[in-house]
Structure 1
Amino acid sequence: DPPLAVENLFGATGLAVSPDGAHVYAVGQFDDTIAGFTRDGVDGSITFLFSLSDGETQGPDTVDGLDGAESVVVSPDGAHVYVASFTDSAVALFARDGNPASPTFGTLDYVTVYKDSSLGGTVADLLGASSITLSADGGHVYVAATTDDAVAIFARDTVPASPTYGQLTPVAGPVDSIGGVDGLDGAQWVRVTPDGVHVYVASGVDKAIAVFARNASTGALTWVQAIKDGVDGANGLDGASSVDVSIDGSSVYATGPNEDAVAVYSRDDANGMLTFVEMEVDGTNGVDGLDGATGVVSSFDGRYVYVNGYLDDSVAVFARDLETGELSYMERERNNFGTVTGLARPVEIAVSGDDQHLYVAGNNEDAIVVFMRDALAPTLPLSLVSTSHTVGVFSNDPTVDMLWSGAADNPGGSGLAGYSFLFDATPLTALDQTIDLLHTVDPHGTTSAPLPDGTSYYFHFRVCDLVGNCSATVHLGPYWIDATDPVNPGAIVSTTHTVDTPDPDTAITMTWIPATDALSGVDGYSVGFDAIPATACDETKELEEGATTTTSAALA
């Protein structure tokens, strides 16, 4: 979609999609603002709903904590929104109207602010708040504090009936170089693993990912290790600016803007330690769109990873190996290329929970750019039939012909790539995503290799699109094949005439022992009387299968 530009979104930075998928929230670091948008769950488009600015009066309250707003997150229960602001060194708390029946559904009410103690607040180690996230259980909030080289921790009241529901209580957090902690110098981005066991922090000055074990009860963090660029095989972390964890928790991804790279690390889910796997670098092996790589996020189905190229004005798309976590470059979407606009200096990407849409903050264009991801499988053909065989009926043709037309990709999708299919003797074979026939112009068809006689041949079929979505496999059959001639009748003799012996009887009677067939059975007999020694009978059936005798017409 075209970018959405609205008032009070100057310097768009952080983005978040509500868990119910109904709203998108964005912050503008230069307007000191949070804006809310209603989201169309079908096409992903967003419509401006409201904005709140630092210092604005809302009822009896004055909104505070939005000066230099950089990051926003919605609580897992959808009840609250939290904003981390760099200049204010603060976390601003808002209550969200989560009632779909409410006329103010999705709007926010300012609740309170938590500021660093150096700026008149009561929270330690929050100076330069730049990235905010919540644990999946909603119990704790974590903030990367760039200036303090720290992670600020808050316990969140998760009891809806509580008068302090959603409010935060500070918990002592780690600070670089204190108590053996390392890897937090210039902390910029923080994420909690989906299982809630570990926390990872990307730190630009240290060129590192700091690893912490999380206490699920208190939210407290215990330092585990620091993965630093160029140390013990680690790579891709120069200027580390963002970090993300795959939905299965097995992979950690980080951006290194000074290397124009996204780095891949495998995660030990027991202790949280990371091992370098590989990195994708702008301009290497066809990779594009990673110049100044800034933000990284993985899809909820674990199949894709998206990376902002800040200096490339691009979003790069990678397919993710579900076993190894390794990335394969697919494409890049660049500002002012094709129909894409609004991507000047992209900062953060938010993915909708249904994986259908990506929202990108274009910092220099004060915009939110909406992309549709093709995550839907194409539909099966309207017609898919065998033109040579009927299910459950014998044919003497050893090759099965199939013909189909009318397959379609979802509207706005990537388009059809082709068809995966297989002939075999198993009723429910599962197909992979290998394309056996490219999609061109309908109708499409295929013919099996010659198949041995049998009664259990099936055709398995699915449709795939250009990004690897495939329909469910359909199974047609069984197709029966009997290409072997019957065993000829035995003891074919005349009961009226003797070979080479004249006989006055002008009608000849023949008898035989019935023919046999192992598969389809004998259907009947083709017979003929004439004066030619080696006439071949055609396939016209003159007698039924039970016949054992026939008599000619009168012969001259």
Structure 2
Amino acid sequence: MSNDQFAFIGTYTRLGSEGVYTLRLNGETGELTQVSVATGLENPSFVALDPSGDHLYAVSESSGFNGSGGITAFNVNRSTGELTQINQQSTGGPGPCHLMIDDSDSVAIVTNYAGGSVSIHPLSADGSVGEYTDFIQHVGSSVNKQRQQEAHAHSVNIDNANNRAYVCDLGKDQVLTYDIDIANGKLSLASTVDEAAGEGPRHFTFHPSGKYVYVNNELGNTITVYDLDGDGTLSPKQTESTLPSGSDGVSHTADIHVSPDGDYVYVSNRGHDSIAIFSIDQSTGNVTAVGHESTQGSTPRNFAITPDGKFLLAENQDSDSIVSFKREDDGTLTPTGSILNVPAPVCMQLLAID
């Protein structure tokens, strides 16, 4: 059985890309090749697959939908990787930058970074996306006057029970937990947890055990470890730098992922242009710095780890490249030699090839 994957790449058309790219990943060698590109969208920066893999959704990080951003639904050809557009809807706020599809394939939840808001959209059986059924405007600010003058909802993650959504708000220095009413397409605030002032929480990921959560803080260049309690509340317990000791120059974290075996967590550093590697003590969830690996490019945004844990694929936005690394047993990364040119890559979602 082949371990080959399709990789769907969200990009910035404002930086010269054509749209959402489909790549093919060789599951044995880590080599990437381009398959196709879906055009006609403005800044389809972040993409998400539904649980079946039959549909893909892309935000348009813009204000081109009557002052708001948009969400576009696609059919996925599981044999060729080609995307066919179904429909589009407004997200209700400008600059959407992240979205997630729930496990029942019923709703899409979107965070609008520029607008500091969250919207939830029903999904039909044919994959089409509906108008939002709930819209929540965040209000607040924090200490960084350039980046935190107002709320900036940056990411959303849905728990394994499919009943809570966790939203990182960089502008408010908070992680907010919402209860999800799937049937009615509604969100209700359940709890909030404050990050240290000026940290700027950006992306969020669960440990496979379901006991811990890891958040990368964009402005503080740190990773925060949380205990995830049975009632869904978060308790922060450790924060570590993602940069080497004595590092200078401007850098900001971008993305974070835990390896499938739960032994390591990785964070991308834009400016330092590296992947920070941490080992995880699975009995506590706490992390220990292992080292850093250059992404061989400029401004690494999102990255992906293959489901078998064999490869890590890093996207360098400002050098227009995606670089493939083999994951070693000690968590470190070794370049495979595969570097593929893709203009302004931002996000990656993997799908096993039928």
Normalised to the residue count of structure 2, the TM-score between the two structures is: 0.81
**Residue 352 (1) aligns with residue 319 (2):** no
TM-superposed CA distance for 1:287, in Å, is 9.7
Q: Which residue of 2 aligns with 1:215?
A: 181
Q: Which residue of 2 aligns with 1:97?
A: 77
TM-superposed CA distance for 1:284, in Å, is 6.8
**Distance 1:313-1:221 versus aligned 2 partners, 3 A rule:** same
**Distance 1:136-1:373 versus aligned 2 partners, 3 A rule:** farther
Aligned to 1:174, what secondary structure does the other structure show?
strand
Q: Which residue of 1 aligns with 2:237?
A: 277
Which residue among 123, 126, 131 is the counterpart of 2:98?
131
Distance 2:277 2:256 in 1: 10
More strand as a share of residues: 2
Task: Map residues 115-514 of structure 1 onto 2, 5 A cutoff.
Answer: 115-116=90-91, 125-157=92-124, 159=125, 165-169=126-130, 170-177=132-139, 185-230=151-196, 238-270=199-231, 272-282=232-242, 291-335=251-295, 341-342=296-297, 344-374=298-328
Distance 1:280 1:291 in 2: 15
Aligned to 1:48, what secondary structure does the other structure show?
strand
TM-superposed CA distance for 1:258, in Å, is 2.0
Q: Percent identity?
A: 20
List runs of 5+ in structure 1 lacking aligned partners. 1-19, 55-65, 117-124, 160-164, 179-183, 336-340, 377-411, 413-556
Distance 2:216 2:209 in 1: 20
Aligned to 1:70, what secondary structure does the other structure show?
coil
**Distance 1:327-1:114 versus aligned 2 partners, 3 A rule:** same
Task: Map residues 534-545 of structure 1 onto 2, 5 A cutoff.
Answer: none
Distance 1:140 1:151 in 2: 13
List runs of 5+ in structure 2 lacking aligned partners. 141-149, 331-335, 337-354
**Distance 1:248-1:328 versus aligned 2 partners, 3 A rule:** same
**Distance 1:110-1:292 versus aligned 2 partners, 3 A rule:** same
Normalised to the residue count of structure 1, the TM-score between the two structures is: 0.52
Which one-letter code corresponds to 1:192 in the other structure? I
Distance 1:286 1:313 in 2: 15
Higher RCO (C-alpha 8 Å, min separation 6) = 2
Distance 1:214 1:292 in 2: 31
Distance 1:255 1:307 in 2: 7
- Alpha carbons 1:289, 1:333 under 8 Å: kept: no
Distance 1:285 1:364 in 2: 25
Which one-letter code corresponds to 1:223 in the other structure? L
TM-superposed CA distance for 1:195, in Å, is 2.3
Distance 2:186 2:21 in 1: 31
- Alpha carbons 1:308, 1:346 under 8 Å: kept: yes
Which deviations, in whole Å up to 9, do the C-alpha atoms of 1:449-504 show, x marking residues without a partner? xxxxxxxxxxxxxxxxxxxxxxxxxxxxxxxxxxxxxxxxxxxxxxxxxxxxxxxx
Aligned to 1:364, what secondary structure does the other structure show?
helix
Which deviations, in whole Å up to 9, do the C-alpha atoms of 1:264-293 show, x marking residues without a partner? 1111132x2111110111457799999411
Paired residues, number: 312
Which one-letter code corresponds to 2:183 in the other structure? S
Q: Which residue of 2 aligns with 1:440?
A: none
TM-superposed CA distance for 1:216, in Å, is 4.1
TM-superposed CA distance for 1:53, in Å, is 2.0
- Alpha carbons 2:138, 2:153 under 8 Å: kept: no
- Alpha carbons 2:72, 2:129 under 8 Å: kept: no
**Distance 1:110-1:375 versus aligned 2 partners, 3 A rule:** farther
Distance 2:234 2:250 in 1: 23
**Distance 1:258-1:130 versus aligned 2 partners, 3 A rule:** same
TM-superposed CA distance for 1:130, in Å, is 0.7
Which one-letter code corresponds to 1:94 in the other structure? F
TM-superposed CA distance for 1:263, in Å, is 0.9
Distance 2:244 2:84 in 1: 48
Which residue among 50, 53, 58 is the counterpart of 1:83?
58
310-319 vs 247-256, which deviates more? 247-256
**Residue 67 (1) aligns with residue 42 (2):** yes
Aligned to 1:293, what secondary structure does the other structure show?
strand
- Alpha carbons 1:37, 1:47 under 8 Å: kept: yes
| Structural RMSD (CA) | 2.7
**Distance 1:365-1:94 versus aligned 2 partners, 3 A rule:** same
